Each structure stands twice: as C-alpha cells, then as structure tokens.
Structure 1
Amino acid sequence: MPTSNPPNTFPVTLLLEPDQCWSWLQHSRTGRIVFIRDSAIDIRPVNYAAQERVISFATASTALIAAADVNESVVFEADGHDGWTAWSVIVRGHATITAPTPAGSEIRPMFAPAKTHHITITPTSVTGRLFDQAR
C-alpha cells in the first residue's frame, strides 16, 4: 500500500543569487569539472579555490590541459551539506591555462603527483540551489 508524506515535510529548495553562490563555493575545496574530450563528455574531480569570482585549480591531466589550451567551454560543479542544509552550485565558463595565482596556494591536492599546470575558469554564468532539509 502506498504511503503518503505528511504535509510540509519535503525539503525547501531556494535559488541562490550569484553572490550567495560564490560564498558557498568558498566553503568547499573539492568540485567536479565537466568538459568535452574526444567528442564525449568527461568529468574529473579537482581541488579548487574560488576567489575574485573565478575558479582556480592545478592539474597534471593532459585532457584538462588540452581543453584549457583551446579556451574550452566547461561546467564546474561543487556541493556540500551540513546535515540540515545542502547546496549545489554550477559554474559555466571557459577554462584557460594561467600563471599560478595567490588562490593557488590554498589548493590542497588530492594526489601526490606534481600539478604541472594552473587552470582558471572564467564564468559566463553561476547558478545554485540551497536545500533546507530541516523542515
């Protein structure tokens, strides 16, 4: 027999303003970058820093370096939760190879290999949602 949920027990979803999105991005250090590789969609986890409305990360991935070398359109996603609320932010933009930035010093690599290139995502749009699970 199907069960029904009591009224007002579903999480409330709030759309985030761009300033709120950047604030949430500064609370996390791990995200995912989505790009096209050999005519297929690829996704990679990265440790990142969000400062001055750009996403920066370091990589040794030849696929990511090749995408950034041609100013590829990319999508970056990060999310998190604290037990009461969850959030998700999506940044669409262009990846470019850049010189190391001050934000780069905040990046903690997931793996020991040396990261040979610094990549910056310059956003064209930033959207986000906050899910209030306390209701």
Structure 2
Amino acid sequence: MSETPIAGGIMPMRELTEAESLERLADAPVGRIVVTVGDITDIYPVTHTVLDGTVYFRTAPGDKLAGLAANAAVLFEADDLSTSRGWSVIVRGLARRLESDDDTGPVAGRLRDPFARGSKEVIVQITPSSVSGREFEPTEDDDAPGAPDSTD
C-alpha cells in the first residue's frame, strides 16, 4: 500500500485492479453519473447494476437523458467510506439509451430496482473506456484533518 500525502498527515492508499474496482462497484447500492453539457456539469445519484464489466441503470425522461443525448462521454463514481478501508471507483465511458428489445431484453430482468419512486422505464448502458479504483485507510480520529486539537 502506498502512502498519499493529505493535509495533516499521510493516508495509506492502494490502487485497485480493474477486476477489484468492478467488484466494488457492483456491490455499491448507489453510484453517481456525471454529465457535462457545454460548461454545465451535473451529478445524478442512480441505482446501478454491473453486468459483464458494463454499468446499467434505469431512469425516466428528463435532464439526465437530455444531457446524455447531448454528450455521451460520462463519468460514473461510487464509493464506500463506512468500512475500515474506504474505497472509490471511477468509470470513464460512453453512455447510451437502450432503445430496442434486442438491447434491453438480455439485461432488463437483471437490473436492480431504482431507489427513487416513479416510473424508470429507460435503461442506460455505460460502456467503460477506463475503470480505476482506490482503497484507503482513513486517518486516526485524532490525526484527521480538521479534527479538534486538544490544545485549542
């Protein structure tokens, strides 16, 4: 595990392999899709599923789909900071709305149900161009950046 400098100390960190990254991503209940159109960047939380190294999620028509139609290049991120070893995974790739039954049929029954209420009938596929992940150990509470100092 390498050490990465952070304000107030060193945080041990290790790069995850692509397989480890996809495994962590598959286990995460919620991820975030980052969509940029012109000089506007938006982030949307989605319930996703990873199948054969590809990310899928259900959504409804709206700003998210309009943004994906205007710029298919996206980032997708998920993390977990609730364990003794936190992690973060980022997928760079191209998103596309699956339109035909030939595209949706093989995956529709395998996708997680969305956490948000309402009809989410549109399936979006993110084909990764790169997958990267990091695992890290948080600093001790008394050494954490911004933690109160007992001398204050």
Shorter-chain TM-score tier:
0.7 to 0.9
The structural deviation recorded for 1:107 is: 1.3
Q: CA, structure 1 residues 45+61, in 2 after alignment: closer, same or farther (shift >3 Å)?
A: farther
* 1:131 matches 2:122: no
Q: Which runs of 5+ in 1 are unaligned?
A: 1-8
Q: What's the % identity of the aligned pairs? A: 31
Deviations 1:39-66 (A, max 9, x none): 3011100000011011000101422222
SS in 2 for 1:109: coil
Larger Rg: 2
User: What pairs with 1:103-114 in structure 2 (closer than 5 Å)?
Assistant: 105-114=110-119
After the TM superposition, which parts of structure 1 deviate over 4 Å for at least 4 consecutive aligned residues? none
Aligned Cα root-mean-square deviation (Å): 2.3
2:147 aligned partner: none
In the alignment, the residues of structure 1 paired with residue 18 and residue 78 of structure 2 have an alpha-carbon distance, to the nearest angstrom, of: 14
Given that 2:57 and 2:111 are in contact with CA atoms closer than 8 Å, whether structure 1 keeps it comes out as no
CA shift at 1:116, angstroms?
2.7
TM-score, structure 2 as length reference: 0.73
**TM-score w.r.t. length of structure 1:** 0.82
| Equivalent residue number for residue 74 of structure 2 | 74
Count of matched residue positions in the alignment of Structure 1 and Structure 2: 127
User: Unaligned stretches of 5+ in structure 2?
Assistant: 1-8, 141-152
Q: 1:86 matched to which residue of 2?
A: 86
